[in-house]
Structure 1
């Protein structure tokens, strides 16, 4: 069955290829947009049609709303899938699609705007009875005001960008001197990345777990969860390894978390696929962090344990279908782990663009959602993620063992990657024992790679 005749993919790389795969299976034609730097990228070739929307700089191509809409009209695409990043959580873009009569495969512009502000999303969750990290929800107007409020909250604190995401615009401060030192630069960074310098303060939780819940809601009042993902292996507050289910949770805490997440999205009237992110302290008390109103990079681990194609689910909901599965129909089968392979130095995390001269992926042993093929160039203009490596096992031990074997079998030459770091992670006793927190990678990097 075809839900839309043609879908334009307002993205690039790995996620564009991933969306194309589902669309082909559903017999939906696809349009790829690409920048001049991506002219030879695999996703451009794999789409049914492809249109260049500008030069390499993202703001002149992938972030150029007029060019993206023009490409959709020119190719008669009736829907746009934004993937993740770029315009995926841009309420103005979602609203523009609506004005142009093009279906935006995601939630409404109103919901994106509501959840795009960390300050406003905290207020909404608090109103819905979802626990939030203690902090101050007002907009900070000056460093003097920030210092005054920080004294009331007590250090250590997190200074955060309200419009932030992906770990950008976050700064840990231990005292007033640190706060004064980083206030202006954090605001400037937030302005640079998000066009919004609004900051707020939140209590710092030491040795936390970062756990998120995958949800899906249709336009007929139905809502489901697809269990949780453990995302505590992070570098600079950005995820590196994810797994599902979380080895940290007992069944009682898991059910409480899942029910809380569902209650939150129902209260706000959410539609389409989304992710509720939470932080856990050492006592397994959890607090709402933010909501991502789009497909997550780490969605494959959820697909592996549920057997549900989340891109298809997005498309069906956008086509105004009722959810085709009930909560009781969704089974959690086994364990799945995902590692993100980046073209970057494994110690400093500095990007390492270049051309992939050799690439061997033993695809009979796992799932590879990759942006590249042998001979592809990893551009300096975009995120350096090359792809994702995913394993599934009947239990966690098997999934970890498969990942270890898979990472040892991969051959990639021509540029520097974090493959050696991933190999180190999955062999580490803290990780194999499932007892790690968001501090794990900091400790691990004290070990020579």
Structure 2
């Protein structure tokens, strides 16, 4: 058995351990309380109530230890209680918890911004400001683009997900559960095709060229390039099913944006901070966005997000036009600095690439034997399988397989426009033996054993 040190507390055994059924009696009791206190619109993937977490496991109120292939939806990439994060936050909470950076600023906010300016793609001069969530980051990026260009239209893509606020819900492609019944939606948002290799009608070899041509043609004919403030895209579509756009598609869209004065906004909320085997996913094809939005993995679980972009864009906004009461809270800033230190000191970019190699090797082999696996895709520690009715590409809902994994002590998440994708986001600090054990549980669930 191996253990993971949680700063200021006991070591957490890195093992799968089932002492009750999943969920157990204490978790079921707590879930009943949740049902009485929390509206049903707040869904629950797996109703086990967590008491401890770290390394590659979460421990519930019944003493079960589950293998974590979710990382709180790509948030706890450096672990749930990474020592550098815990130490910084503990010190900060004793000094002060809040002043509002717009009232009386503090150094950690500036330091986070300096680091993001240096680490994000491109050697141009940049500015960064901090907000609370990925949706807030995307919404502010669009605000900046509209202000800087004097244009209004925003172009987004099929299968994209950008948040749950009015604007980001509008930017999001999938209706249920994100948009159903919540309209009317924000104006001047236009959707174009994404290069989805597995489902492209003429095959993956034609996908990049044809999808880019269709998208650009639609923008020119239906919107007018001269009216577009920004194109917003995930380098890998997250909630849409971990879709990697066909290689060559992103560069073509970026080239079109450059030629027409359109701000290229990369939504790296789920893909950022070493998750894909690069520090940022857009580095894979050398994409240098005008603005990049980050959140999730930025602060080890504390609420923080960032908008980083070309100085001439962000500097165009008048004083007071950006900000918020809690944005860049000092505890979250210290956590972010601890995350960045951990990624560097523990070589987590390389670790993510290793996790991807292990997972893709086993999943591609499994696909040869299991006829419901239509596609295996992803990079680094952001991997997915798309389930289909055997012999077709008709979507096969992923919920039943996920439930089988949950019952055996493996936490997995579903995704996809059609609800037929299992997505895997293990913490980058997960030990190899848990990674392999989790894959074996998945294999058993998929094989029907």
Q: TM-score under structure 2 normalisation?
A: 0.31
Q: Which has the higher strand share?
A: 1
TM-score w.r.t. length of structure 1: 0.31
Which protein has greater RCO, CA pairs closer than 8 Å, 6+ apart? 2
